[in-house]
Amino acid sequence: MHVKHSKIEIPEVPPAMNADEAAKIDFEHAQGTTRHTFLENEHPVIRIEHLNKTFTDTPVLKDVNLEVWHGEVVVVLGPSGSGKSTMLRCINLLETPTAGHILVDDEEITGANAKQKQEIRRNLGMVFQSFNLFPHLTALENVMIGQRKVLGKSKEEAAAEAMKQLERVGLADRADYKPPQLSGGQQQRVAIARAVAMHPKVLLFDEPTSALDPELVRGVLDVMRDLAENGGMTMIVVTHEMGFARDVADRCVFMEGGVVVEQGLPEDVFDHPQNERTAAFLGSIKEA
Ligand SMILES: Nc1ncnc2c1ncn2[C@@H]1O[C@H](COP(=O)(O)OP(=O)(O)OP(=O)(O)O)[C@@H](O)[C@H]1O
Ligand SMILES: [Mg+2]
């Protein structure tokens, strides 16, 4: 078979750090940049070290380093094409990194085989811009299916958990509706209920409100706020909703050109950006 010459250059990265050493460094680094309250000897739930992703010959992520702590809400900001979705997709194993390490609870997930990927993914809930519900299943069935197929729960258990999560997102009375009978905001809330019903370690949101009519955005953000403030969920949220970021984020991360340009407390990033590219981006969002 003819093998096409690959143009991808693989950057050299050091091996993943020893977990305790890395946690110590991350802890020192994160102090002052997050509203998160640290426990003694806490290790981050997600640790990204030297993450690189190149498509064909275009580097899209260039040495991204990021840690996320248990219960922390990290909002990722940045212009279109900066690599935000690619980073989330690498964490969720939807993309394979070109180089670098991603660790969940100190376990390296990069290089996992198909069976390990299944196991890892159940700990990483993802909410997409386009909901991705099964149109032929009811809201209840959509929230049950992963619990049944991946977690092997009984029908009764899965249905009870699904009802609980639909109630939480304010849709108990829509349990028997199918996605085409629901508004975009309602569909997105079902998608959130579906992700939460799996009790993942981390919830990843990729612009969850970008496809919604403006009047439906609030309800989805309220559900996300409830998960963050009352549910103790660890969340990485890519969004352009600046009010949400300012209020709910423990930390804001600004990406551009595949690089984490700046990160810190929301009030610092918004009101006193250190990097001129962050300032320019935030200015353009305000004007929009
Ligand atoms: N499968 C792919 N093949 C080739 N290039 C890709 C692929 N996926 C993403 N890219 C490129 O990677 C870059 C980063 O894309 P990504 O979707 O991560 O950006 P983003 O920050 O999420 O942007 P947006 O705000 O528009 O969603 C873009 O230039 C994009 O064209
Ligand atoms: Mg994107």
Location of structure tokens 């639909």: 166
| Euclidean distance between CA atoms 70 and 53, whole angstroms | 26
* Ligand 1 pocket, residue 273 CB under 6 Å: no
Atom of ligand 1 nearest to the CA of 258: 14
Q: What is the pTM of this model?
A: 0.95
Output the residue whose Cα is nearest ligand 1's atom 19: 81
* Ligand 1 pocket, residue 76 CB under 6 Å: no
Contacts with 154 (C-beta within 8 Å, 6 or more apart), sequence order: none
Give the percent of the chain with pLDDT over 90: 88
Each residue's pLDDT tens digit, 58-113: 999 999 999 999 999 999 999 999 999 999 999 999 999 999 999 999 999 998 99
Q: What is the pLDDT of residue 145?
A: 97
CA of 86 to the centre of ligand 2 (A): 7
Mutation test of ligand 1: which of 86, 98, 256 has the most ligand atoms closer than 8 Å to its C-beta? Answer: 86
How many Cβ atoms are within 10 Å of 41's Cβ, its own excluded?
9
What is the pLDDT confidence band of residue 288, given thresholds at 50, 70 and 90?
low
Mutation test of ligand 1: which of 51, 54, 55, 256 has the most ligand atoms closer than 8 Å to its C-beta? Answer: 55
Output the residue whose Cα is nearest ligand 1's atom 8: 86
CA of 84 to the centre of ligand 1 (A): 8
* Ligand 1 pocket, residue 81 CB under 6 Å: yes
Output the residue whose Cα is nearest ligand 1's atom 30: 81
CA of 85 to the centre of ligand 2 (A): 4
Atom of ligand 1 nearest to the CA of 207: 27
* Ligand 1 pocket, residue 80 CB under 6 Å: yes
| Euclidean distance between CA atoms 99 and 11, whole angstroms | 6
How many Cβ atoms are within 10 Å of 18's Cβ, its own excluded?
10
Quick one: which H or E segment has residue 160?
A: helix 155-168
Residue 5 has pLDDT above 70, yes or no: no
Give the percent of the chain with pLDDT over 70: 97
Q: What is the pLDDT of residue 285?
A: 82
Q: What is the pLDDT of residue 107?
A: 94
Each residue's pLDDT tens digit, 28-48: 888 889 999 999 889 999 999
How many Cβ atoms are within 10 Å of 206's Cβ, its own excluded?
21
Q: What is the pLDDT of residue 31?
A: 83
Contacts with 11 (C-beta within 8 Å, 6 or more apart), sequence order: 50, 52, 63, 98, 99
Residue 3 has pLDDT above 70, yes or no: no
Return the DSSP state at 129.
Answer: T
Each residue's pLDDT tens digit, 207-262: 999 999 999 999 999 999 999 999 999 999 999 999 999 999 999 999 999 999 99
Q: What are phi and psi of 46, to 5 degrees?
A: -125, 135
More confident residue, 113 or 285: 113
Q: What is the pLDDT of residue 219?
A: 96
* Ligand 1 pocket, residue 53 CB under 6 Å: no
Task: Give residues whose Cβ lies within 5 Å of ion ligand 2.
Answer: 85
CA of 144 to the centre of ligand 1 (A): 31
